[in-house]
Structure 1
Amino acid sequence: MSFVPLKDGYNTWTAGLKSIQVVGNATPIPLTPIVPILVDSGTTYFYLPRRVLEALVGTIKSTIEPTERRVALKEAEGKPPVLRNCADREYLAPLEVAFTSQDGSDVTVVIPQEVYVQVFDTDAGQLCALLLQESSQGEEDISIGQNLLRRYYLYFQYDQRRIGFADTMREAYKPKERIAALKKRRAVRPM
């Protein structure tokens, strides 16, 4: 289990966020150094300032382009991005969120597309929304819903002012296109 300290001056589960990246893209999302991030058990979305949200959605789109797959994201002001076709969520890359640990190293958690793209049943059929939302009223606050971290066991230790993260799954999540490319390789196996 890796621990991240709670930030001083906060009376909530607020830790230090070092970076957000899209797996497969080296472009960093613009953040000020060690931004406070609230880990919120009552929140469904990943709330980000507008500039960070726009950069993250743009980076997600850029990782789709090399697959030559036509994945369309519908964006509307004040609403989370929506996939036009729910099957396309398999082509999105996972997100990596790096927290600052007690010893100064990174504690990186991976949020697979199966987690950050939520399927909703509507009268018009299925709707797949990315659980990424702009922070309210132009705030610079960042908060992440605990449901987005469900791949991890979280150990909240308020008396020690820290949050522990333990990966509950060892299997890596990868977009479908990258898996398909690996399946094209032939392996020699004894019969």
Structure 2
Amino acid sequence: MDKIEKLVLASASPRRRELLAQIGIRPEIVPSTIEEKITTDVPEEAVAELSRQKAEDVAGCQQSGTFVIGADTVVAAGGEILGKPATHQEAFRMISMLEGRTHQVYTGVTLVYCGQNGKKVRTFVEKTDVHLYPMSQEEIKAYTDGIEPMDKAGAYGIQGKFAAFIKGIDGDYNNVVGLPVGRVYQEMKLMFEQEDKV
């Protein structure tokens, strides 16, 4: 991993930046400017595709020795992908779908290493099941009228006020926050171990 001269996060998400800082990684922030295009309604494929688009977009203008991390998170309930709500009404609809049930959070991560002999790319998807307590219409309205749901996939943040309605999770908690940092670190290590063997 000492071959990395510069580490770039292709995302403006403060949560992803904080999660990486927690494990000692302080990346340069270079958000991707591509228009996100999903060509599938399968959540795992969608996040893999979007994370790769973002990472490769940013990696395209980086120098050799740069390592780029791209990520995309969606919430899926009953086969429907829930992105970030555009309005409070949309947030209300999303939380109404989720309350009292189990849903999935998928984060796709693409790692791109810009090496001397071209780019090495690795993409993986992490899934976490999230179980919610039932919520009343009043509770849903009170939550979705606030600012917290508006910039988050599925209209909630597990690390905010919405924690009051989280019954439990199966999988990686950090994945629900926005980045499975443990797995990111392990996959980065794997990339460099494989490169050393070449």
TM-score bracket for this pair, using the shorter chain length: 0.3 to 0.5
**TM-score (normalizing by structure 1):** 0.33
**TM-score (normalizing by structure 2):** 0.32
Relative to total residues, which structure has the larger helix share, 1 or 2? 2
Relative to total residues, which structure has the larger strand share, 1 or 2? 1
